[in-house]
Chain A
Amino acid sequence: MIRALGVALALAAIAALAMIVAGANPIVGFFALFRGALGGPNQIAETLVQTTSLLFPSLAVAFAFRAGLFNIGAEGQLIIGGLVAGLIGARLNVPGALAIPVILVAGAFGGALWGSTAGVLRARFGGNEVIATLMLNIVAALLANYLVVGPLHSPGATGAETAQLPESSWLPTLLADTRLTIALPIAILLAFALRFVFDRTIFGYELRAAGDAPEAARRAGINLARTAFVAMALSGAMAGLGGATIVTGVLHRFNVALSPGYGFIAIAVALVGDLDPLRIIVAAFAFGILQSGSLTMQAYAHVPKDVVTFVEGLAIVALAARRFVAERAKTSPA
C-alpha cells in the first residue's frame, strides 16, 4: 500500500509538471479532475463505468501474469470480444434475459479465441507471448474495422460500427439515467472468483507454480505448455467479456473506437494492484477517476486530455520496468 501511495504521489507530481508545461494551472486541474470524477452521483457513476471497463482487462492481465505470461494483448482481446458481442447483439432478436447472457458469453469466447492464438504460439512453438499479443492487437483493430464496414456491415449502421443493439439486450442499469450497469458487480464477482481460484484450487496453484518457478513446476509434473495455453485463453476471455460489457452496457453498439486503450492501461492497473484481484479493484477505481476526470479537466482547467494519457503511459513504463528488473534480480545468479 505504501508503494502504491508513493507511486501515486510521484505520478501526481509528474502530472502537475505536465499541466504547467501545457499552460494550465495544476491546482485548478486537480480540482477539476476530482470534481469531474467524484463531484456528484452522475460523476461517480461515470467513474464507476470507467472502473468497470478497466477492471476486466486488468484482471485478464493479472491472471496471465500470475501464470508467468505477459499479456499485452488485452486491448486486442477486448476489441474482438466487443466485435463478436456487437455483431451478434445487433442481429439477435430474442428476449433480453436470453440475449444478454448469449452476448456476454460470445464476447468472452471471442476474447478467448484471440488470447489462445497467442497461447498456441507459445505452447506449440515457444513463441514469445509479448510479441504475439502485441501484434495481435493491431490485427484485431484492423480486422474489426474491415468486418464492420465490409462483409459484416449491419444494415442501418453508419461509419465503422454495427447497428444499435435492441433495447432489450442492453445491460440493466444500477442507477437511472446513467451508464452504470450490472457489469460492475459482474467484474467485482470475477475478481473474488479469481482470488478464490488462486488461493484455494489446484488449478490456481498450478498456474502460480508455472509462473513463479517454471522449472520446479515442470519437474513436479505440471504441463507448462497446457498451462500457458489455458492461461492465455482465460485471460483473453476476461478481456473479451470486458469488451462485450462496453458494447451491451455503455455504447449499445460496437464501434471500432470503443476503447481509449483500456487494455494497455490495464497493465498499469494490474501492477499497481500487485496482481492481487481484490487490490486491483481499488487500483481500477483510482485509474477510473483519472479516466473520467480527464474529460472535466479539459473543460474546466484547459488541461489537454493527452496529459492523462501521458501519465498513464509513464505509469505503465515505470511499473513494468520495475517488475522486470525485480524478475531479473531474482532469476539471474548474482
Chain B
Amino acid sequence: MMQLGMRGCLKPAAILLISTLALGACSGGSSGSGSGGSPAKGGLRLAMVTDVGGLGDKSFNDSAYAGLKKAKADLGADIEVLESKSAADYQPNLTVLADGGYDDIFAIGFLMNKDLAQVAKNHPQGHFAIVDAVVDLPNVTSITFREQDASFLAGALAARVSKTKMIGFLGGLDIPLLRKFEAGFSAGAHQVDPSVKVEVKYVGSFEDVASGKELASVLLNDHVDVIYVAAGKSGLGAIGAIRDTPNVYAIGVDSDQDDLAKGKILTSVLKRVDVAVFHVAQDAKNKKKPSGHLELGLKDDGVGLTEFQYTRAIIGAKTIAEVGRLRQAIIAGKITPPQTREELQNYKPVKL
C-alpha cells in the first residue's frame, strides 16, 4: 500500500520541480545579482569569509562588511561575502574564493588563521588578509589593531570620572587579544591617578549575557563605579546591570554602543575593522604593494573613542581635554601603552 502511494507521488514531484525551474528561468534572471560570478573585466574584486557568527552580528563581521560596501561605493569594487556554518567551512570557503580569482580575500577573525595559512600556501598567486591574527606568509596581509592605545584613553577617562577610585575591567575570554584591552586600560588609569584601583574579571565567554550581568553586579557591590566592558554579547548583560544602578558608568567596546544606555556609557572604544578592510582595498585598487602586517592605531583611526555625545556634562571639559592630550602623546610616540600583563607591570606613568 505504502509503496503504491509513494510511486504515485513521484509524478507530482517531478512536475512541481519542472514548473518551478521554468518559473525560475523566467523570473530569476531579474534578480540582478551578477549570477555566474562573471565580473566586470579589470575591475577590483574583493571577497570576505565570515566566521560562524555570520552577518548581522552587530560587531566584527558586520564591520568588515561595511568596509567592503564602502569599497564598492567608493572604488567600484565587485564584492562577495561567504558565511560559514561551521569551523569546517572556513577552508573550503576560502578555497572557493581563491579559485575565483579575487584581488583580495578577507578572513574575518583569528579563528581562521590555520585555515587561511593553508589556503594561502596552496594559492601563492592569490592575495589574502586576516583580521586579528598574524599569518607570516608573503601573500597575506595581517591586520591587527593597537587596542591598548584606545583602552589607555578609556582607562584615563574612567579614573577621572570615578568617585570611589575603584574601576573595573570585564573581559570576555582571558586570551592575549583581550589582555591588550586590559593592560592598556589599567596603564591609562594609573597614568592620570596612581591611587586608582583596577579590578579585573573575565566572563569566560562572549555569549553569556546572564554571567556578564552577574559579574558586573559583583564589581558594583565592590564599589566599582566605572566598568570597561570588553565581552561581546556577555557585555550586554553588564551594561544592563549598570543601566539599573545610579551613579555608575560603563565604557563600551568594538562598535559605537553609546546608544545602548544613553548617559550611562561614557564612551565606546572603537575598533574599526571597516577602516582596515577599506585600507587594504584601496592599496589593491592603487596597485600598491600590499603590506605584510598592517597595525592600525589612533593615528589611522583604526581605533579610537566615540564623541561623548550623551556624557559630555558628566565627564567635564577638563577631562575631555586631558584625554585629547594623552591621545596626541600616544600618536607622537611619547607614550607607548603596554599590551601584556608583563609590560603593564613594568609600565611607569610618563611625565608630559
A and B: real partners?
yes
Q: Contact residues of A with B, CB < 8 Å?
A: 2-3, 5-7, 9-10, 12-13, 16-17, 19-20, 23-28, 36, 42, 46, 49, 53, 145-146, 149-150, 158-161, 164, 177, 179, 246, 250-253, 255, 257-261, 292, 294-296, 298-302, 304-305, 309, 326
Chain B interface residues toward A at CB < 8 A:
2-3, 6-7, 9-10, 13-14, 16-17, 19-21, 23-25, 27-29, 31, 33-37, 47, 52, 80, 82-83, 85-89, 91-93, 95-97, 100, 110-111, 113-114, 122, 133, 173, 175-177, 204-205
Name A20's contact: one of B24, B93, B100, B113 (CB within 8 Å): B24
Whether B16 pairs with A13 at a CB distance below 8 angstroms is yes
In the assembled complex, the Cα of A257 lies from the Cα of B206 at a distance in Å of 14
Q: Which of A5, A26, A294, A299 contacts B20 (CB 8 A)?
A: A26
From B21, B28, B96, give the contact of A36 (CB < 8 A): B96
Which chain A residues border B113 with CB–CB below 8 Å? 158
Q: Is the CB of B96 within 8 A of A296?
A: yes
CA distance A309 to B54 in the complex (A): 14
B20–A17 contact, CB under 8 A? Answer: yes
Cβ-defined contact, A25 with B31, below 8 A: yes
Name the contact of A299 in the complex, choosing from B86, B96, B122 (C-beta under 8 A). Answer: B96
Contact, CB under 8 Å: A177 / B20? no
Show 16 residue pairs from A and B whose CB-CB distance is below 8 angstroms, ordered by the A residue. Answer: A9-B10, A10-B17, A16-B21, A17-B20, A42-B95, A49-B88, A146-B204, A149-B204, A158-B111, A251-B87, A251-B88, A258-B88, A259-B86, A295-B92, A295-B96, A305-B83
**Whole-angstrom distance from the CB of B45 to the nearest CB of chain A?**
12
Determine the chain B residues whose CB is within 8 A of the CB of A250 once the complex forms. 88
CB < 8 Å: which of B80, B86, B97, B204 contacts A258?
A: B86
From A2, A23, A160, A298, contact of B7 by CB (8 A): A2
A13-B20, A302-B35 known; A158-B110 Cβ under 8 A: yes
Q: Is B35's CB under 8 angstroms from A161's CB?
A: no
In the complex, given contacts A149-B205, A251-B87, what are 14 additional A-B residue pairs having Cβ atoms less than 8 angstroms apart?
A2-B10, A6-B9, A13-B16, A24-B28, A25-B25, A27-B21, A28-B28, A46-B92, A159-B173, A160-B173, A260-B86, A294-B85, A301-B35, A301-B36
- Contact between B29 and A25 (Cβ–Cβ < 8 Å)? yes
